[in-house]
Amino acid sequence: MRKTSSSKNESKSFKQSFLKNWKSVASVIDRILPKPKQVVLADGTKVDPPRSTSIYVSIILLIIILYFVNITEFNIILLFKNFTNIFEFTSRIFKPDFSYYPEVILKVIETIRMALLGTFVGAIASLPVAYFISANLHKDTKVAMFFINIVKASLSLLRTFPMLVYAQIILLLFAAGSGPLTGTIAVSIFTFSILTKMLYEYIETLDLGAFEAIESTGVTKLKAFTTAILPEIISVYYSYSLYCFDINIRHSTILGYVGAGGIGVILKRTLQSDNYEQSGMILLVVFVAILSIEAVSKAIRRRLA
């Protein structure tokens, strides 16, 4: 009984302390931000309009920002103080060393190969998996739906990690020092996880009238799928694959930072060794290559639409 009464007293004192502190905070707010003017109704009744909640939300956000500034040790004075260093960096990086071109072009080609092969492998694997986990095609059995949900959850987990993390894991566990092979595997996993999701979500929005009509004749689901659904999604499948290729080209440029091959290997080396003119040459070639591939990809997707 003593413990119960003691806990009640502690709870009561805490509540009183909280209310007292809140009143003091509210009084400070009232001094800084006056309350809205009192409104007099037609019958003479005086009404005090409530203060806008946006004020309290702004104060809470300000407290959160200050808290994170303290944790991250963000120093805006130091930022402005060292901001002028960017002018030296840009002045050198915009003077590319064209004598470095032969080495750059070889690594750019290697990067494109990694992105192209990884996209191809991931796209090939994504189509059958998208068929098997499309809920509208296999909704007739609870066991199938159970496995579909498990696979979809696994794909969500795969999409959680960026391509760079896959490359690092593969280097540590399976193919240390294999460079481009590691990059290709990382691109394949990333493409598979993204493209499979895009495909099965598209399939689940389709009208299955033709699919069900063909299936009712006694053929298998797979035969009905290839006959009724596949011709309808094939252009979208190619378009999504090209879109993933565009993304993979960009992501592949940084895989070299963990030793997974491609242009990132020499980009990291030139930046760390203060050879910004060579870095400028790398960025120029990568920029031209990405723009060219994107233009070709858009033209193909336009034809497929």
The CATH code of the domain that includes 287 is 1.10.3720.10
Indicate whether 3 pLDDT > 50.
no
Residues 71, 142, single domain; the answer is no
pLDDT in tens, 271-301: 888 888 888 898 899 889 888 888 888 888 7
Domain boundary residue among 27, 56, 81?
81
Considering the entire predicted model, what is its pTM?
A: 0.71
pLDDT, position 197: 92
Residues 45, 131, single domain; the answer is no
Residues 117, 266, single domain; the answer is yes
Residues 110, 248, single domain; the answer is yes
- Which two structure tokens, joined as six digits, stand for 220? 């298998």
Mode of pairing for the β-strands spanning 39-40 and 46-47: antiparallel
Mean pLDDT along residues 8-36: 64
Whether residue 92 is contained in a domain is answered as no
Residues 36, 126, single domain; the answer is no
Q: Is 46 helix (H, G, I), strand (E, B) or coil?
A: strand
Q: What percent of the chain has pLDDT over 70?
A: 83
Give the pLDDT band (50/70/90) at residue 177. low
- Which two structure tokens, joined as six digits, stand for 278? 């060579």
The burial class, CB within 10 Å (0-12 / 13-18 / 19+), for 92 is middle
Residues 150, 199, single domain; the answer is yes
Residues 42, 121, single domain; the answer is no
Domain boundary residue among 52, 81, 110?
81
Residue 227 domain boundaries: 97-304
Residues 43, 141, single domain; the answer is no
Residues 197, 111, single domain; the answer is yes
Q: For residues 286 and 264, give the distance between their C-alpha atoms in angstroms, rounded to a whole number.
A: 10
**Contact (CB, 8 A) for 241 and 199:** no
Domain boundary residue among 81, 110, 134?
81
Mean pLDDT along residues 219-228: 87
